Amino acid sequence: MELASTRMEDIFSDADLVTLPAVYTQLKAVLDDPDFSMQDVVDVVSNDPAITTKLLRLANSAYFGLATRIDTVARAVSMLGTQEVHDLVLATSVVQSFSGMENEVMDMQRFWRKSVLCAIAAKSLALRCNVLDSDSAFVAGLLRDLGHLFLYQKLPQQSLQAHQMHVQRGIPLYQAENSLMGTDYAKVGAEAMRRWKLPENLWEPTELHVDPVLADESGLITSLVHIAGVVAEAFDQEEEMCEAIRRVDPYAWQETGLDAEDVLTLPEELVDELNSVLLLLLDDL
């Protein structure tokens, strides 16, 4: 534990690594105020043209499937609700904050492609098990691998060595990272979220998707992200899905009520939706 604690402070020693755009910080402050108004939310989001543009593009995309066109932030807040607006602003804020990251060691396009795959799979699976807040599953899936953005910046060589160990020995990546660095991407991602003061229902799936039985308040979303992560990794590695799903923790099947058939029928959905979501979220990368 001492090694992990020391390494965590090393990873987050550069404050610039953990700064989200001001629009998200301001939006969260508004939503945390029990007396906030819808106009307060509209005013904050409207002050950031880049976030506003992406929010409206996402809200009007075929992926989100709204019947009525949304042409203003006020209409987005009215139609989507404050929680969905929060989730979409958070997703675009995280992508924006890492848009300038150098990719000499890490293939950023591949990273975000895999992350978006995980997000789409998590939302699709959430809809299949009737989770009302399926957009939170989308955001949780998108942020599943967040910790790697920090590890590959601060500890690039050790991160590459851990990945090689994962491939060569066939052990889970988080275990390889722990053995070499004293921490892993799931813990680092969750720590970033805590420092950003994100709600527990977002950082718990990031930290515990590697072992979903440990989840407390967000057990269902954590299990969904766990399964979605297996799906995304299979796509990324061009692995047969029927082989990949053997890695799904039995607890995740039990918690979600899903089964292998639910996953095996996902690939066609993912392929259809991936490119449009990638273009909407990553047009500035």
Residue 32 has pLDDT above 70, yes or no: yes
pLDDT value, residue 15: 46
Tokens of 160: 């590459």
Structural domain containing residue 8: 2-18+102-281
Report helix, strand or coil for 110: helix
pLDDT greater than 80 at residue 262: yes
Residue 83's contacts (CB-CB under 8 Å, 6 or more residues apart) are: 133, 135, 136
Which CATH number goes with the domain that contains 161?
Answer: 1.10.3210.10
227 within some domain: yes
Residue 76 belongs to a domain: no
Cα gap 237→247, rounded to integer Å? 14
The pLDDT assigned to 2 comes to 43
Higher pLDDT, 32 or 6: 32
- In 3D space, the residue among 184, 107, 200 whose CA is nearest the CA of residue 150 turns out to be 184
Question: How many Å apart are CA 153 and CA 176, to the nearest integer?
Answer: 18
Nearest to 229 by CA among 247, 202, 216, 217: 247
The reply to whether 131 falls in a domain is yes
pLDDT digit string, tens, across residues 43-65: 999 998 888 888 888 778 777 66
pLDDT at site 10:
78
For the record, the structure tokens of 156 come out as 């690039």
pLDDT averaged over every residue in the chain = 86
73 within some domain: no
pLDDT of residue 168: 92
Higher pLDDT, 60 or 105: 60
Give Cα 86 distance to the centre of its chain.
14
With a pLDDT cut of 90, the percent of the chain lying above it is: 43
Q: Is residue 248 part of a domain?
A: yes
Q: How far apart are CA 20 and CA 248, in angstroms?
A: 32
Total structural domains in the chain? 1
Mean pLDDT, rounded, for 257-276: 83
In sequence order, the 6+-apart residues with CB closer than 8 A to the CB of 258 are 125, 128, 129, 227
Q: Is residue 125 part of a domain?
A: yes
Least reliable range by pLDDT among 25-34, 184-193, 270-279: 270-279
pLDDT in tens, 222-252: 999 999 999 999 999 899 999 999 999 999 9
pLDDT over 80 (residue 267): no
Q: What is the pLDDT of residue 102?
A: 65
The predicted structure's pLDDT at residue 6: 46
In this prediction, residue 103 carries a pLDDT of 63
Angle at 172 between CA 170 and CA 178, to 5 degrees: 120
222 lies in some domain: yes
The 10s digit of each residue's pLDDT in 169-195 is: 989 999 999 999 989 999 999 999 998
**Which is more confidently placed, 283 or 243?**
243
pLDDT number for residue 224: 96
As a whole number, mean pLDDT of residues 148-152 equals 90
More confident residue, 133 or 118: 118
Q: Is residue 258 part of a domain?
A: yes
> 266 pLDDT exceeds 50?
yes
Tell me, what's the pLDDT at 1?
40
Q: Percent of the chain, pLDDT > 70?
A: 91
Dihedral, CA of residue 4, residue 163, residue 167 and residue 2, to nearest 10: -10
Query: How high is the pLDDT of residue 55?
Result: 82
Whether the model pTM is above 0.85: yes
Q: Is the pLDDT of residue 82 over 50?
A: yes
Cα 255 from Cα 219, distance rounded (Å): 7
